Amino acid sequence: MTAQGTNDRQLVFGVIADDLTGGLELASMLIARGVPTTLSIGPGEPARYGFAHVFALKSRVAPATEAVAATLEALEHLIEQGARQVFLKYCATFDSTPAGNIGPCAEAIMDRLGARQALFVPALCETRRTVYQGHMFGGAQLLAESPKRFDPLTPMTDSNLVRVLQAQSRKQVGLIDYAMVDRGPEAIRSALEAAAETSLFICDTLYERHFSALAAAAVDAPFLTGNSSVAAHLPPLWFGSGLMPSPTPVRLDGVDGPGAVLVGSLADQTATQLDRFGQSHGVLTIDVEQAYAGRDVVSEAKRFAATETAAGRAFAISTALPQARVEALQAAHGRLEIAAKVEAILSEIARSIVFDHGVRRLVVAGGETSGSVVRALGITDLDVGPYREPGFSRSVSVQPFPIALMLKSGKLGSLDIFASALDDMRRPISEAPLLDRWPPKA
């Protein structure tokens, strides 16, 4: 299994992630770099701690007051454990409207820790999610001109992250621009000192080396925020300074048994991945509109799953619909109501395929869906495997029994990720940590 945590270790790094897939991604990066890392689901007291610990919440689209309450609950556990640094993890596309909770959660953490300033580093250069002059880009497109503007829960209609963050924050928001970041850690620290009246700083990030500079600038700060990528550049600094002993080998058990894929994401990338999987596997698409009309779509899905597992075949069940139909449903019932309906349907199906039909290898597509499914299965702690590429993070449940999981963000992953992940789950992982380069496929 992944190196287990114990409560007598010094907690160097405490993470509060706003969704499960993002928390898993960050944990997998730390593990790949040799840091014993534990992960628990929800803000409650975990059973164990490593040198790093990730609280994976379900707060990305929650009202700010609810998100802040869950964040502060998790924060108190990190403070009790003496965490040297706290990290607030959110999506690489920021995924936050003017009414969002990234700013309020960050400010609540800062107030509790007494932190005066904090960097915001949302970029993920591996997937060409970059920030320049405070504006986020997806490849060559400004975020507000990309498919993210149609996101069903967090439509990104403004690419200027300084403006987006300021709209939801009390504290002053500024920018650490490309020229300053490119000059390195000392220049970044000097820029922070020169802007004493500013508390929150969006950071331009165009290349992987910029993450290294930002990590080095913030390694001694009590609080840091961002996507996973900047955190992946912290472990070499910890090992080099003696904060952590030598890197730990990477291990994760393999799990065999029936396999399945559950899809709640509406992302274009997931739709393409599902089409690829459907070329060689059975796929059932649930019509959520029919569920509102009284059709028992859950029973139909259970019958489909029973037939496929009895025949020894992996399968997929999806609630994805064309964009126009999704918008019509949202107009009739509300964005959050539709999301909750989908999560409830897939959670009930997940319980059936795992407890009634013995599925032990499970892929779930969609951050919010992943959190709902894992909670429905009674899983509170995960052993996490090493990071391979964006959207691919293996894990194994600690309870109620071993279930191999791959929980992915809707936007990420290769076209054949569903079949390749189910196959990969059978094999145990045992390897040396990745110390000499980052990311793994660089």
Q: What is the pLDDT of residue 264?
A: 87
Q: What is the spatial distance between Cα 372 and Cα 377, in angstroms, rounded to a whole number?
A: 9
Lowest mean pLDDT among 70-74, 252-256, 261-265: 261-265
Using DSSP, state whether 197 is helix, strand or coil: coil
Its sign, for the CA torsion 226, 379, 393, 344, is negative
Q: What is the spatial distance between Cα 218 and Cα 222, in angstroms, rounded to a whole number?
A: 8
pLDDT in tens, 133-157: 999 999 999 999 988 888 777 888 8
- Check whether 411 has a pLDDT greater than 80: no
Tokens 């190196």 belong to residue? 3
Neighbours of 10 (CB within 10 A): 12
Query: Do β-strands 118-121 and 129-132 pair in parallel, antiparallel, or remain unpaired?
Result: unpaired
The CA–CA distances, whole Å, from 73 to 5, 112, 118, 211 equal 20, 11, 20, 29
Please give the mean pLDDT across all residues of the chain.
92
Residues in the chain: 442
- Full-model pTM: 0.91
Q: What is the spatial distance between Cα 51 and Cα 54, in angstroms, rounded to a whole number?
A: 10
- Whether the CB-CB separation of 288 and 301 falls below 8 Å is answered with no
- Whether the CB-CB separation of 341 and 319 falls below 8 Å is answered with no
Class for the domain spanning 13-248:
alpha beta
Taking Cα atoms as reference points, which of 214, 215, 223 lies closest to residue 107? 223
DSSP state of 250: E
Q: Which residues pair with 361 in a beta bridge?
A: 259, 404
Domain 251-431 belongs to what architecture?
Answer: 3-Layer(aba) Sandwich (3.40)
- Check whether 338 has a pLDDT greater than 50: yes
Q: What is the spatial distance between Cα 120 and Cα 203, in angstroms, rounded to a whole number?
A: 6
Q: What is the spatial distance between Cα 86 and Cα 178, in angstroms, rounded to a whole number?
A: 25
Using DSSP, state whether 201 is helix, strand or coil: strand
Neighbours of 356 (CB within 10 A): 12
The pLDDT of 265-277, averaged and rounded, is 87
Q: Where are the beta strands (DSSP E) in 244-318?
A: 250-252, 259-263, 282-285, 315-318
pLDDT in tens, 214-246: 999 999 999 999 999 999 999 999 999 999 999
Q: What is the spatial distance between Cα 86 and Cα 375, in angstroms, rounded to a whole number?
A: 24
The CATH 3.40.50.10840 portion of the chain extends over 13-248
- Phi, psi for residue 46 in degrees, rounded to 5: -80, 165
Lowest mean pLDDT among 1-10, 62-71, 298-307: 1-10
Q: What is the pLDDT of residue 4?
A: 45
The CA–CA distances, whole Å, from 12 to 23, 115, 382 equal 17, 17, 19
Q: What is the pLDDT of residue 2?
A: 45
Its sign, for the CA torsion 105, 111, 112, 118, is positive
- Phi, psi for residue 86 in degrees, rounded to 5: -110, 140
Q: What is the pLDDT of residue 389?
A: 86
Q: Where are the beta strands (DSSP E) in 110-257?
A: 118-121, 129-132, 135-138, 141-142, 173-176, 200-203, 223-226, 250-252
The CATH 3.40.980.20 portion of the chain extends over 251-431
- Whether the CB-CB separation of 18 and 225 falls below 8 Å is answered with no
Q: What percent of the chain is modeled with pLDDT above 90?
A: 76
pLDDT band at 8 (very low <50, low <70, confident <90, very high): low
- Check whether 343 has a pLDDT greater than 50: yes
Q: What is the spatial distance between Cα 167 and Cα 239, in angstroms, rounded to a whole number?
A: 38
